[in-house]
C-alpha cells in the first residue's frame, strides 16, 4: 500500500523508541492507485511532485520520508510559500537547498541519502522505504552507502530539464559570448 501523506505529524515514537506511521485516511493499495489514478490529497509541503499528475507509488512515500528527514536535519521545511499555488509550483519545479548548505555539520553521506529520497524524478529515488532504511543503517554503521551523489553534469542536465526556457536563454547567451570572443 501507499500511505500518501508521510510527514512528521504522522510519525509517532513510543517510549521504547519504536516508530509508528499514523493516519491512513488517504492510503491506498498499489492496485487501487493503478485503477483510480489516485487523488492528489495530502499535505502539500510533503507531497511528491508526481502526485500533482494524479499518480503515486511507494516512491511517493519515500519522498515524504526524505522530506521528514530533511526537516529533522535542517530544522526547517524544504518547501514553504505564502499561498497554495506557489507552494505547489515550488514542490513540482524547485529543489530545496541542500541540507549541508543550511548546516555544514550534516555528514555528506547523510545528505546524499536525503537528496536521493527527495529527487524530483521518481526513477532516481529509492524504489522503496526498505532501500532507504538499508542506506541509513549503513550510514549509522559507518559503512559505504548505496546511494551515490549526482555528478555536476547530471545536476546541470536535470536543472535544464526543469527550467528549459532559462537553460535555452543561457545557452544562447554563452554562444553569443563565445562567438564574440572568437571574432575579437
d(CA 64, CA 117): 8
Helix (H/G/I), strand (E/B), else coil: 6: coil
Helix (H/G/I), strand (E/B), else coil: 12: strand
d(CA 67, CA 61): 10
Give the cell for residue 139.
Answer: 550510514
Give the cell for residue 124.
Answer: 532516481
What is the DSSP code (8-state) at residue 41?
Answer: -
Q: Which residue has the cell 538499508?
A: 134
Give the cell for residue 167.
Answer: 537553460
As a whole number of angstroms, the longest Cα–Cα distance in the chain is 72
According to DSSP, the residues that pair with 12 across neighbouring strands are 20
Q: Which residues are catalytic?
A: 5
Amino acid at each position: 500500500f501507499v500511505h500518501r501523506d508521510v510527514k512528521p505529524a504522522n510519525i509517532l515514537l513510543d517510549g521504547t523508541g519504536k516508530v509508528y506511521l499514523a493516519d491512513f485516511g488517504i492510503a491506498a493499495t498499489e492496485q487501487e492507485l493503478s485503477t483510480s489514478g489516485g487523488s492528489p490529497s495530502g499535505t502539500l509541503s510533503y507531497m511528491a511532485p508526481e502526485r500533482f499528475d494524479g499518480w503515486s507509488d511507494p516512491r511517493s512515500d519515500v519522498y515524504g520520508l526524505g522530506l521528514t528527514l530533511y526537516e529533522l536535519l535542517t530544522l526547517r521545511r524544504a518547501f514553504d510559500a505564502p499561498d497554495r499555488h506557489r507552494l505547489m509550483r515550488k514542490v513540482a519545479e524547485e529543489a530545496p537547498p541542500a541540507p549541508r548548505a543550511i548546516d555544514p555539520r550534516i555528514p555528506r553521506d547523510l545528505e546524499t541519502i536525503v537528496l536521493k529520497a527527495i529527487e524530483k524524478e521518481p526513477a532516481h529515488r529509492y524504489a522503496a522505504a526498505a532501500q532507504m532504511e538499508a542506506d541509513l543503517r549503513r550510514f549509522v554503521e559507518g559503512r559505504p552507502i548505496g546511494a551515490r551523489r549526482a555528478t555536476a553534469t547530471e545536476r546541470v542536465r536535470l536543472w535544464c530539464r526543469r527550467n528549459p526556457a532559462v537553460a535555452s536563454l543561457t545557452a544562447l547567451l554563452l554562444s553569443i559570448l563565445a562567438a564574440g570572443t572568437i571574432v575579437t
